[in-house]
Structures are given as structure tokens and as C-alpha cells.
A and B are shown apart, each in its own frame.
Chain A
Amino acid sequence: MRRMIRLPALLLCILFAVSLVAGPAAAGPKIEKIRTPGGIEVWFVREPAIPIIALQAAWRGGSASDPVGKEGLAALTTDLLTEGAGDLNADEFQDAMREKAISLSFGADRDYITLGLRTLSEHSERAFDLLRLAMTAPRFDEEPVARLRARALVSYQRGRTNPNVLAGERFADRAFPGHPYGLRSAPTPESLEKITTADFAAFTKQALARDNLLIGAVGDIEPDYLAQLVDDSFGRLPDKATLPLPAPATLQTPAAPEIIQFPNPQSVVLFGAPGLLRDDPDWYAATVLNNALGGGSMSSRLFEEVREKRGLVYSIGTQLTPYKAAGLFSGSLATSNAQVGAALQLVRDEFARIVRDGLTPEELAASKAYLTGSFPLRLSSNAAIAGMLVAMQISGLGTDYIEQYPKLINAVTAEDVRRVAQRLLDRENLLVVVVGQPVGLGG
């Protein structure tokens, strides 16, 4: 690929990661808020074109709620939920899913426990039945617990020689020292020794409740029937979640770059600064700025200056990450060890140039045009729309957000961008983490 070559083993990931397609009609998908008889709210899009259902859900409280010393508890627990529940042991539970081609998986990010469910419409009853068992009657049997512990241990050990993992861990640690966002979200050998089977059950009970639950569903199903299935499954959860949530934090930017010496020919570089929370009034201005500077399309400033003109990198980009308790503005690049200093200097130069001059009128217009025009491409499939429905709820948006989005973006002015550039980019220090044998970083 121009950005990624297609190797056979990668085929599938790319197929689905990039998948595009068929989402909304011109005005976007028609979103209904359903309130079930049991009182659970579901954001729903009826899509009868294909006989399938995609449901996504999120519970507030993710790996940032792991108890100190038990890093990875959320990740491990969520993986275990589909490894045996009710009368079914791990093997039987997985067989039951496979028998009906049901896909059901839980995960944990920093702020949320996540759920993805996909089924043929004709098997929806069975799918929700398995979902209910996984949420309310997980077994945490000895066999799957031992198996997933062994896997976590190997995964940890692999990470010790993976430059991307090492860079990400160090970045988090330096960005948020002493805060849960600074800790690993996957288990360590030490945390694996502390985590007990009782912890899995306790975490499930604390985390999966009804008052911290957000649901999005898309597909070929009657709303009344969906409501009944939701009540029969999510309706069995406890009323209130009791997980502790992390306190607000601000990303730290130490003066000196963090260098992890690693015997690779190419250095992995992460850089970051405090970003914005999702409800910040400057969010859309920051989105326009980030897209022009180093965001999604292959025409950003950093892409142009560092890659197209000079050939220093294959990949370079920046992003805004709105955690619930901290905003991040971050970026990454990878370049030959000898070019690290030069590449980072170009990044800093572009930051300074944008702070000084802002975006050109053409850049501003192009950034808005890309963001508004490509938005429907993100609603590419039932599963993608279901994910968007949950993301909109996480961000506290209304059901009209998809219609509103172009207006929100188009309302951003050059002055807005200049202001937010000063907030994000006008900094003495950036947090910089390099894994490799970099040259040209001074000190």
C-alpha cells in the first residue's frame, strides 16, 4: 500500500479495518432511542437490507479502574467472560457460539468495558441468551483462567522486545506518572501473581451494571423484540456500578526526551502534549487543526514535509485522544536511527509555523471538506454504525449528531484554529519517547 503493503496475513485486518461502505442514506441513518419496558435505553437503527444484527455496548469503568498492583484485571476478566458461563464450560460456550455463527466478545479500554455482538437475525434469541450468561453467570473455571494467564505472560514477554509496546508503555508512564492512565492495561508477571479468581467475579459485579451502560444496535430486527431481548439480558445486571473511576489528570511533558536503547535500525518515536476533553468548546477546531497537521488523509502538513518532500518516514501522524479524565494530543513516526533528530525537528518546525501563521485559507477549507465529506465513510457497516451509536453516547452527543457534524465543522474559523493551535502546539516542551538507537537528539 501506499501506506501499507498488503501481505497475505494482513489481508483480513485490512479488509475490515478499512472497510468502507454502505452506511447512511443522504441524511444519515435514522436513529431511534428505544426505552425498553425494563427501563434500558438503546440507540437503534433499523437496517433490513441484510438479515444480521450488530450490537455494541460500553460500560463506564475500564482498565483505569484496575486496583493498584492488579494491572490487567479488566482486560483478563473481560476475556474470561466468554470462556464458560452458566451450565456451559469454556469449550461448550465457544461451541455454542460457533454452532450459530455468533460472534460475542468483551474488551477493556482505559475508560470503558466494551462489548461487541454479531449474529444472523434468525439466531438472535440464542445470541442474547449467551450474552446474558456471559454477563451474569461467568464461571471463571480453573482451565480457562490458567490458559489466559499463560497467554498473558507470553504476551507480556513478547512486549519486552516490541519497540511499539515499549514506546507506548513508557509514553503512558511519563505522561501520567502515578495516575491510572500511566499504568499498563495488560497484566504483568507481578500483577498476575496478585490477581485471584475472586477478583474476576468481583470486578464483573462492580463493572457490569445498568447505570453505567450504553447500547447501540443496528440490524434487521423488530424494535419491540430487540427491547425484549435487551431486558432478558442486560436487564439482569445490577442497578449500580461501584467501580472507582480515575481522578482528572494532565499530561506531563518532561524537558528531555525519553530514550529506550533498542537494537533496531529504525527508531519508533512518540510525541505528545496535553489535549482536549471531548466536551471542550474547542473540540471541533482542534479536529480541523489536527486533520490539517497530521490527521487522516494523505495530504497533511507532516505527511507532506517529512515524507513526501524528504522521504524520511513511511508513516507519520497525529491524533486527539479524549480520555474521560484527560485529553491527549499525540503523534508518532518511525525513521532510520540517523534521521530521528532531523525528523523531530521538522515536526517542531511545523508546530511553530502553525502557531505563528495558522492554516492557510486553502488548508482550512480542505481540512473541513475532508472531515465533512468523509464522515459518511465512517458509517460503513452495521457494526460500524453500532459503534458510532455508542461513541456518540460516550461523547454526550444527541441523536442528530450525524446531521449536525458538517455544521459543527464548517463553523470553525481561522481564528478558532489559531487559538487552539496555541493551546495544543505552543509549548516549551513536548513529551518525546524514542525506542531505538536514535541520533541527533542532543543530550
Chain B
Amino acid sequence: MPTRRLFAALALLVTLAGVAATAGWSGPARAQIFNPTQFTLANGLQVVLIEDHRAPIVHHMVWYRVGAADEPPGRSGVAHYLEHLMFKGTPSVPPGEFSRIVAREGGRDNAFTSSDYTGYYQSIARDRLDLVMRMEAERMAYLNPRQEDAVPELQVVLQERMSRTENSPGGLFAEQFDAAQFLAHPYGRPIIGWPQELARLTLADAMEFYRTHYAPNNAILIVAGDVSPDELRRLAEKHYGPIPRRSVPLRQRPQEPPQLAARRLTMTDARVSQPSLRRSYLAPSRNSSLKEHAVPLAVLAEILNGPTGRLYKGLVMGDGPAVSAGAWYEALSLDQRSFGFGIAPKSGRKLEEVEAALDGIIAKLLAEGVTEDELRVAKSVLQAETIFARDSLFGAAQLFGVALTSGLTVEDVEAWPRLVEAVTREQILAAARHVFDPPRSVTGYLLPKEQS
């Protein structure tokens, strides 16, 4: 992938991870962007509607406030395995039929699992909303997979792990790296599960997890598209309303101890042909302690990442030692997560040189902060991205889902442009000084075998 485009993508990720909402920021003339409607059913199901009447289609999503970081110890991968089993049958929808019915009605469906959330969706003509809501509501409460379907599905998940991780040294290294970043917090576990734990998961494990966490009061219904609030309320009451509320555990995951020692790890693999560097630091999220740093960090990531951001200018252009360099920051996480860097050196240049150059960029940032001009351009790009975000209804629904499952409110999402506009150079410097503290760093080298 051309590097510049990758940067543009990363920059956008920051925006959308930070994300995105009203355009009230630029003056009263501009309407809201997503202008969502929200309400809550008596059983606690939260409902968010993003109306868009450009086309007669709807995007229907149910998000559960549970993910891989909520799994019991020793059962890593169970949140994702359960996601697969959610397609394996309810009283009125036989195993494997869910997606078949959606397809036959001209829709698409899928599901996804992350550390903080699990989500299910269908995209379909608006007159099929009733149908998919009925099926989705049924599997919220009456999932009933058979052992004979659960067993091959675990094999499917093991093949998935192989494709993503065992077949990819970069995937294996990312897993080791995250484990090094998080000593106590389950963000250190792979979403798909550690291989020895994943291989031993059972249908009973998955159903235990299901009964513990899947309940209307632990879910968010998000619909984007061509439906009115009244219509949606009627359908939501009809299908989801009858499902009883259940008590669910508080989401209190083990928190990280203070990091007092820099961590380094090196992995070699015969399948690596070009080395790469990762560096990360624990960083507050918009929901964690020290959350005041989160929006300044999102703006900083934009300044570092942009197509002509500091990383590209400092590490790649001209005589720079790298062919690509990017930063990530996960502003939308339930707990504090990370601010990190990934860099690939030019052929023949050493990771030590790349790391020293990155340290130089960080040192300069900590000494001088960002410039007024960098801040101005980053803000204008981030604000523009909130307008571009309206073009993708799926994207809008996704943003609300991620935000609401990571502890934020609809209002927090909508405040984004205003929060970005208010960021100062001083706040960015303070956030950078808090995060980029050498003893709190994790540095990883992924090397070809012969360089070890």
C-alpha cells in the first residue's frame, strides 16, 4: 500500500476513533452532522437512531457492552467464539439459517468482536427491518446452539487464528507486544484467544459467557438509515421490549500497575524478510483516569501522522531511515490503552538508527511542543473529517457503537468538534509529557532470523 495513503488512512482512524459528530463548532449556520435520536426501553436497552433518507436502506446493529477484555481468566477467545455461535440457531431460526435468510432478503450481515465490545449487524432494504430485528432480538435471549455445530465452528475459529496470527510473524509479534504492554489488564490478551486456551473452549464456556453478559440492559441498538424515530420505537418495543432485564456484572477489569521500567522485546522469525519497529506507551482514553489528555492526544496523533506529519517528514522524507512510519492512539477505549508507533526501515538501515530518530522526534516534541500552524491545520483536517464521516452511514453507526461501549455518551460523541477546536498547544505538550515518559515505554524489534 502506498505509504501516503496509509497515513491518510491512519489520520482518519484517529479522527474516527476520537470521533465525530456535530458541526456546531463552526458557527450556528451549520446544522448538526449526525443529529441522532436516542431513547431507552423499559428493559434498559439503549437505542440510537441516525436518520438518513438518501436511500431506502437501513443498517441495523446490536452492540453488547462486552468484549475480549471481559473474559474470565483462562478462557481467552470465548467472546469471539460466542460471536460465531450466535449464528448457530435459535428456536425459530435453525443453525446456519440466519445469514441465509438475510441474504435471501437481499441483505448483508456479519459480526465483530473487539476488546471492549461485540457487535452484530445487517444492512438491508428498510422494509425488511422488522424481519432482521425479530431474528436479532431472538438471539439476544434464546440462543441455543447444538454441540454438533459448535465443534466444527471452533475449528473455523482456529483456522481464523492461523490466518491472522500463526501464518503471520507480524501478527504473532503484535500479540507478544500487546502482552508486554499490559501486565495486568486483559488488553494484553489477543481478542481471538491464546492458542492453548482457544483450542480448549467448549460450547458450555460460550453459553456461560452468553448468559452472563447478553441482556437488553447490556446492549445498544443502533440503526442508521431510512427509518423514522416513531417507526423505530414501535419496532424496538415489539421485538426487543419483551426481553427481560437481567443483572450483569460491572465492567471492572484489572488495571495496570504503574510502569516503572521500560520494556523491550525482540522476536526473530525465518519468515520475516524486512525488520520493523514498534513502540508504545500507556495512554489515557476518553473514559479513563486523566481523560483530559485524550482529545489533545488525538490532535497530536493527527499532527504526527498527517501525510506531511512530523513522522513522515522526520523519518521518511529526504535522507530519513524509514520507508514508512505511523502513529496510533486509541482514544475510544473503556480503560487506558496505548499511544504507539510503527516504523519500517529502508533496506539496509538498522532498527537502532530508526529508534534513535524516533526518540529524537519525541524529544523535540517534549522540548518545544507543536507549532501554532501545525495545530491549526490538524484542527481543520479533523473538522473536515467529521463532514466526510457523514457520507458513510455505516461509519456513523460504528462510531456511536464504539463510543457507547467504551463508556461515553451520545453527547460526548457530539461534543467532539467543539473539544477539538478548544485544544491548545499547552494541553498537547502536557499530554505528551505525561505519555512519552521513557520508563513507561515498550519497544519491540521484529527481525529476520539471520540478524538475531
A: residues with CB less than 8 A from B are: 1-9, 11-16, 18-26, 47, 49-52, 54, 79, 82, 90-91, 94-95, 97-99, 101, 103, 105, 107, 118, 120, 143, 147, 150-151, 153-155, 157-158, 160-161, 163, 262-266, 268, 296-299, 304, 307-315, 334-336, 365-366, 369-370, 372-374, 376-377, 379-383
**Other-chain residue from B8, B152, B162 in contact with A265 (beta carbon distance below 8 A):** B162
Give the complex CA separation of A157 and B343 in angstroms.
Answer: 16
In order of increasing CB-CB distance, the 7 nearest A-B pairs are A373-B106, A311-B155, A21-B393, A311-B152, A101-B384, A297-B103, A6-B112
Give chain B residues whose Cβ lies under 8 Å from the Cβ of A374: 103, 106-108
Contacts A82-B4, A265-B167, A299-B100 given; indicate if A2 touches B271 (C-beta within 8 A): no
Asked if B104 CB lies within 8 Å of chain A CBs, one says yes
Instruction: Kindly list chain B residues whose C-beta atoms are within 8 Å of the C-beta of A265.
Output: 162, 166-167
Distance of A12 Cα from B395 Cα, bound (Å): 9
Q: Is B363 an interface residue (CB 8 A)?
A: no
Closest chain-B Cβ to A70's Cβ sits at a distance in Å of: 19
- 1/0 per residue, CB under 8 A from A, across B223-261: the answer is 011000000000000000000000000000000000000
Report the nearest B residue to A116, measured CB to CB.
B5
If A309-B152, A311-B153, A376-B57 touch, does A150 touch B346 (CB 8 Å cutoff)? yes
B59 within 8 A of A: yes
Q: What A residues does B380 contact at CB under 8 A?
A: 99, 101
Q: Can you list, as one digit per residue, whether each of B365-403 has a CB less than 8 Å from chain A (1) or not (0)?
A: 000000000000100110011011011111100100000
B46-71 vs A, Cβ < 8 Å mask (1 yes, 0 no): 00000010111101000000000000
Q: How far is the CA of A412 from the CA of B225 in the complex (A)?
A: 31
CB<8 Å pairs between A and B, sample of 13: A2-B83, A5-B80, A8-B115, A15-B16, A19-B392, A21-B224, A22-B391, A118-B388, A153-B346, A161-B271, A266-B162, A298-B110, A311-B151
- The reply to whether A369 and B347 form a contact with Cβ atoms under 8 Å apart is no
Asked whether B273 is an interface residue with its Cβ less than 8 Å from the other chain, the reply is: yes
User: Cβ of A1 and Cβ of B110 under 8 Å apart?
Assistant: yes
Residues of A near B124 (CB, < 8 A) are 373, 377
**B324 and A151 contacting across the interface, CB-CB below 8 Å:** yes
- B420: Cβ under 8 A from any A Cβ: no
Chain A residue contacts of B151, Cβ below 8 A: 311
Task: Report if B130 contacts A (CB, 8 A).
Answer: no
Give complex CA distance A315, B57 in Å.
27
Beyond A5-B113, A314-B159, A380-B393, 18 extra complex contacts between A and B, CB < 8 Å = A2-B99, A7-B164, A22-B55, A22-B393, A50-B387, A91-B313, A98-B307, A99-B380, A101-B381, A153-B347, A263-B270, A263-B271, A308-B96, A311-B153, A335-B159, A370-B103, A376-B55, A380-B394
Nearest A-chain residue to B119, judged by Cβ: A6
Q: Contact check, A377 vs B391: say whether CB atoms are below 8 A apart.
A: no
Q: Are A5 and B191 in contact (CB under 8 A)?
A: yes
Question: Which residue of B55, B102, B270, B273 is within 8 Å of A25 (Cβ)?
Answer: B55
Which residue in chain B gives the minimum CB-CB distance to A101? Answer: B384
Whether A2 touches B111, Cβ cut-off 8 Å, given contacts A334-B159, A335-B159, A336-B159, is yes
Q: Is B214 an interface residue (CB 8 A)?
A: no
Q: In the complex, are the beta carbons of B167 and A3 less than 8 A apart?
A: no
Residues on A with beta carbons closer than 8 Å to the beta carbon of B192 = 5
Given the complex, which residues of A lie within 8 Å of B330, measured CB to CB? 8
- Distance of A151 from chain B, by nearest CB (Å): 4
Q: Are A21 and B112 in contact (CB under 8 A)?
A: no
B53 to chain A, nearest CB (A): 8
Residues A161 and B55 in contact in the complex (CB < 8 Å), given A1-B112, A16-B395, A101-B381: no
If A151-B323, A298-B109, A299-B99 touch, whether A105 touches B328 (CB-CB below 8 Å) is no
In the bound complex, do residue B103 and residue A312 qualify as a contact, i.e. CB atoms below 8 Å apart?
no
Interchain nearest-CB distance for A330 vs B (Å) = 18
Interface presence of B272 (CB below 8 A): yes
Cα distance, A153 to B391, chains bound together (Å): 36
CB pair B156 A91 closer than 8 Å: no
Question: Does B216 interact with chain A (Cβ within 8 Å)?
Answer: no
Asked whether A20 and B12 contact (CB < 8 A) given A5-B164, A376-B55, the answer is: no
Query: Within the complex, which residue of B99, B164, B167, B271 is in contact with A298, where a contact is CB–CB below 8 Å?
Result: B99
> Which of A2, A95, A150, A366 contacts B347 (CB under 8 A)?
A150
Chain B's nearest CB lies how many Å from the CB of A265?
5
Which residues on the B side are within 8 Å of A309 (C-beta)? 152
Q: Which of B130-164 contact A (CB under 8 A)?
A: 151-157, 159-160, 162-164
A residues within 8 A CB of B345? 154
Distance between Cα atoms of A9 and B159 in the complex (Å): 20
Contact of B152 among A20, A308, A373, A379 (CB under 8 A): A308
Report the separation of the CA atoms of residues A13 and B107 in the bound assembly, to the nearest whole angstrom: 21
CB closest residue in chain A, given B388: A52
- B52 closest partner in A (C-beta): A22
Contact A143 to B318, CB < 8 A, known contacts A5-B112, A334-B163: yes
Contacts of A335 in B (CB 8 A): 159
Q: How far is the CA of A265 from the CA of B158 in the complex (A)?
A: 11
Does any Cβ of A come within 8 Å of B308's Cβ? yes
Residues of B within 8 A of A13 (CB): 9
Least Cβ–Cβ distance between A310 and chain B, in angstroms: 6
Docked pose: A6 CA to B407 CA in angstroms: 19
Pairwise interchain contact A304-B106, C-beta atoms closer than 8 A:
no
B123 contacts the other chain (CB 8 A): yes
Complex interface bits, B5-41 against A, C-beta within 8 A gives 1, otherwise 0: 1001110110011000000000000000000000000
* Cβ-defined contact, A97 with B307, below 8 A: yes
Chain A: CB-nearest residue to B344 = A154
- Closest Cβ of chain B: how far from A361's Cβ, in Å? 13
The answer on a CB contact under 8 Å between B392 and A16 is yes
Q: In residues 80-128 of chain B, which contact A (Cβ within 8 Å)?
A: 80, 83-84, 87, 96, 99-100, 102-115, 123-125
Q: Tell me the complex Cα distance, A11–B337, Å.
A: 16
Compute how far the CA of A296 lies from the CA of B123 in the bound complex, rounded to whole angstroms.
14
CB atoms of A150 and B392 under 8 A apart: no
B306 is an interface residue with CB less than 8 A from chain A: yes
A12 touches B391 (CB 8 A): no
The answer to whether A52 and B308 touch (CB under 8 A), given A22-B393, A336-B162, is no
Bound complex: CA of A2 vs CA of B3, how far in Å?
A: 29
Which residues of the other chain, B, contact A50 by a CB distance below 8 angstroms?
Answer: 387, 390-391
Is there an interface contact between A266 and B159, defined as CB atoms closer than 8 Å? Answer: yes
Known contacts A311-B156, A373-B125: A2-B52 contact under CB 8 Å: no
Tell me which residues across on chain A come within 8 A of B4, comparing CB atoms: 79, 82, 94, 105
Residues on the B chain within 8 Å of A377, using CB: 57, 107-108, 123-124
Which of A263, A265, A266 is most buried by chain B, counting CB atoms within 10 A of its CB? A266
Is the Cβ of B346 less than 8 Å from the Cβ of A91? no
Distance (whole angstroms) from the CB of A215 to the closest CB of chain B = 19
Kindly list chain A residues whose C-beta atoms are within 8 Å of the C-beta of B155.
Answer: 310-312
- Given A94-B4, A312-B155, A377-B123: A15 touches B392 (CB 8 Å cut-off): yes
A12–B17 Cα gap in the complex (Å)?
A: 9
Are A6 and B328 in contact, with the CB atoms below 8 A? no
